[in-house]
Amino acid sequence: MSVASPKNFEHTISKKLRSNVLKIALFATGLAGIVAEYVLSTLATYFLGDSVFQWTIIVSMMLFSMGLGSRLSKIFEKDLLQKFIYVEFTLSIFSAFAALLAYTAAAFTMYTGFIIYAFSILIGLMIGLEIPLVIRLNDEFEELKVNISSVMEKDYYGSLLGGIFFAFVGLPYLGLTYTPFVLGLINFLVALLLLIVLWTAIATKVKKRLGLTAFLVALVLASGIFLAKPIILFGEQQRYKDKIIYQKQSRYQKIVITQWKDHHWLYINGNQQLSSLDEQMYHEPLVHPAMKLLPAVKDVLVLGGGDGCAVREILKYSEVENITVVDLDPAMTDLGKTHPVLLELNQGALLNKKVEIINDDAFHFLENTNQYFDVVIIDLPDPKTVELGRLYSLEFYTLASKQMRPNGTIITQAGSPYFATKAFYCIDKTMAEAGFKTQPMHNQILTLGEWGWVIGVKTEYPKPNLKENLQQLSFTEVETAWLNQEAMQLMTSFGKKFFLSDHDDLEVNTVHNPVLYKYYLDGNWDIY
């Protein structure tokens, strides 16, 4: 029986070590690559809107660019290891600074999208170079079928871990400020690991150049990490005309509070949700008409409304026994319970013992709840995406109807009848299709412009004209800052300005035919 010589044994170990290092590198870059796609897609959605479109375009552009990168890799004939290390150094810079440059660009130009799309192409090209180079480098260590399968396997495994990292750690805890720098560090450490372990395989004249490059990249990354927060805050501040006093990137959305003199504004993903200057002109019409149509209300469901202002209005009715608030984002409801600005606005409403807060998707909640409600109040963001449009769908209103008691009322904020007329009437038509007797309403809100709601009654109201019943409502028994009977007469009257001649041609918004977000995006927002 022959015994392997120490020299051969060391050679075998060396080959195995080099092969494993290459696979570890690809696992790490697979993780970083998929997270880079998610970061850029989230950035594009935040700055440009329409999440379905942006995620589709960014991911498609990156995959196409990866194909181009793979094609370009064939022009590299020599010094493959050296070139792979340079690719990793380049990727570390691109990945780390994509978000910073996007925020900086947002402060000075309207063309932030071009920056984001450009980075998606550049990063895609670099990622596309990685796999072919690693396969060729690993070719001397493993036979072809093992080489290809093991290399691809590690890359795909890394992608899974990257997705988990982004969803549960990156976005909710590190946000778009520091997640990109984690990616940059991963690519940098991969390059550094290859440089150290495979040092002897690198030509002597190249070692100094690679070492200097590593030092410079480390310096740039360290500087970026140090400056990231103030730069992003600067870029973010330019998107708002008033001073930012609070901002948080949660797992679901970017929450910002700004201040001007003694007044405050709440924004979600850059869109105003309320202003302390005039929020009563929004929340009073959202709550009181639906409450006053019924002789007594015991159980109220609020879908959205994590700021607590709608709950504040509901609590003015002493007969109410239970208020269930369903808001997807715990960051929003926690803010409504703890932040001084919102606590002052909502008067501590979310801390009231009558209030139960459930952090869940509103659609999912309605599908699974066994509770029944007298009034359902829907205070959700505008239906500008497919995901949000689902919460204004026929299926959604049908689910709500099943959990409502006879003669129960439902009301939803419905965007602007002026700026998004078709979307507004689509919501009205969709709610009516679910079996509700409906009536659209509108009000001029100082900081939002012309805004609207759609109110519905589950069964035929005792009097045939819901509009007349709304106009006759009296609010003398409840304390309101703005709403009264005269206001209700104005809110339920629409002149020619808001008349839609092709109302009958509008489609009903359903989960499988999500037309609402298209109507919304086709609105006259350029004049807002």
Query: Per-residue pLDDT tens for 79-94?
Result: 888 888 899 899 999 9
My answer on whether 99 and 15 are in the same domain is yes
**CATH code, domain carrying 433:** 3.40.50.150
Q: SS3 for 358?
A: strand
My answer on whether 290 and 369 are in the same domain is yes
My answer on whether 369 and 220 are in the same domain is no
Q: State how far the Cα of 425 lies from the Cα of 431, in Å rounded to an integer.
A: 10
Whole-number pLDDT of residue 258: 95
Residue indicated by tokens 């051969």: 8
**CATH code, domain carrying 130:** 1.20.1250.20
- In this predicted structure, the answer to whether residue 421 has a pLDDT above a threshold of 70 is yes
My answer on whether 167 and 301 are in the same domain is no
Give the residue from 184, 215, 237 where a domain finishes: 237
- In this predicted structure, the answer to whether residue 9 has a pLDDT above a threshold of 50 is no
Query: Per-residue pLDDT tens for 185-209?
Result: 998 998 888 888 777 777 777 788 8
Whole-number pLDDT of residue 382: 92
**64-87: burial string, b at 16+ Cβ within 10 Å, e else:** ebbeebbeebeebeeebbbbbbbb
101 vs 142: which has the higher pLDDT: 101
How sure is the predictor about 499, in pLDDT bands with cuts at 50, 70 and 90? low
Domain housing 413: 274-527
Share of the chain above pLDDT 90, in %: 51
In a domain, 229, yes or no: yes
What are the residue ranges of helices labelled H in 49-79? 51-72
- In this predicted structure, the answer to whether residue 7 has a pLDDT above a threshold of 50 is no
How sure is the predictor about 453, in pLDDT bands with cuts at 50, 70 and 90? very high
Whole-number pLDDT of residue 500: 58
The total number of structural domains that make up the chain: 2
Q: State how far the Cα of 145 lies from the Cα of 306, in Å rounded to an integer.
A: 55
In a domain, 374, yes or no: yes
Whole-number pLDDT of residue 3: 43
Whole-number pLDDT of residue 523: 77
Q: SS3 for 381?
A: coil
262 an active-site residue?
A: no
Helix (H) or strand (E) holding 317: none
How sure is the predictor about 148, in pLDDT bands with cuts at 50, 70 and 90? confident
Question: What's the rounded mean pLDDT across residues 133-160?
Answer: 84
Query: Per-residue pLDDT tens for 212-271?
Result: 899 999 999 999 898 888 888 887 787 788 899 998 888 888 899 999 999 999 999 888
My answer on whether 175 and 296 are in the same domain is no
- In this predicted structure, the answer to whether residue 49 has a pLDDT above a threshold of 80 is no
The pTM assigned to this predicted structure is: 0.80
In a domain, 504, yes or no: yes
Asked if residues 375 and 405 have their Cβ atoms less than 8 Å apart, the reply is no
154 vs 314: which has the higher pLDDT: 314
- In this predicted structure, the answer to whether residue 6 has a pLDDT above a threshold of 70 is no
| Residues with Cβ within 8 Å of residue 368, at least 6 apart in sequence | none
- In this predicted structure, the answer to whether residue 1 has a pLDDT above a threshold of 70 is no
My answer on whether 305 and 233 are in the same domain is no
Q: SS3 for 267?
A: strand
Question: What's the rounded mean pLDDT across residues 506-513?
Answer: 93
My answer on whether 200 and 321 are in the same domain is no
Whole-number pLDDT of residue 497: 57
In a domain, 44, yes or no: yes
Average pLDDT, the chain: 88
Share of the chain above pLDDT 70, in %: 93
Strands of the 322-326 sheet, one edge to the other: 355-358, 322-326, 299-304, 373-379, 404-413, 449-457, 437-445
- In this predicted structure, the answer to whether residue 335 has a pLDDT above a threshold of 50 is yes
Give the residue from 216, 237, 258 where a domain finishes: 237
Q: Which one of the listed residues 379, 382, 505, 526 is annotated catalytic?
A: 379
- In this predicted structure, the answer to whether residue 424 has a pLDDT above a threshold of 90 is yes
- Between the CA of residue 42 and those of 17, 102, 240, what are the distances in Å? 38, 12, 19
My answer on whether 195 and 304 are in the same domain is no
My answer on whether 157 and 281 are in the same domain is no
Query: Per-residue pLDDT tens for 354-401?
Result: 999 999 999 999 999 999 999 999 999 999 888 899 999 999 999 999
Whole-number pLDDT of residue 172: 83
Whole-number pLDDT of residue 45: 84
**279-296: burial string, b at 16+ Cβ within 10 Å, e else:** bbbbbbbbbbbbbbbbee
Residue indicated by tokens 């995006």: 521
My answer on whether 210 and 117 are in the same domain is yes
In a domain, 225, yes or no: yes
My answer on whether 224 and 278 are in the same domain is no
**If we measure between CA atoms, which residue out of 144, 127, 140, 170 comes closest to residue 26?**
127
My answer on whether 151 and 46 are in the same domain is yes
In a domain, 361, yes or no: yes
Query: Per-residue pLDDT tens for 10-46?
Result: 444 476 777 788 888 888 888 888 899 899 998 888 8
Question: What's the rounded mean pLDDT across residues 159-181?
Answer: 88
- In this predicted structure, the answer to whether residue 78 has a pLDDT above a threshold of 90 is no
How sure is the predictor about 464, in pLDDT bands with cuts at 50, 70 and 90? low
- In this predicted structure, the answer to whether residue 498 has a pLDDT above a threshold of 80 is no
Give the residue from 175, 209, 237 where a domain finishes: 237
DSSP per position, 135-153 = HHHGGGTS-HHHHHHHHHH
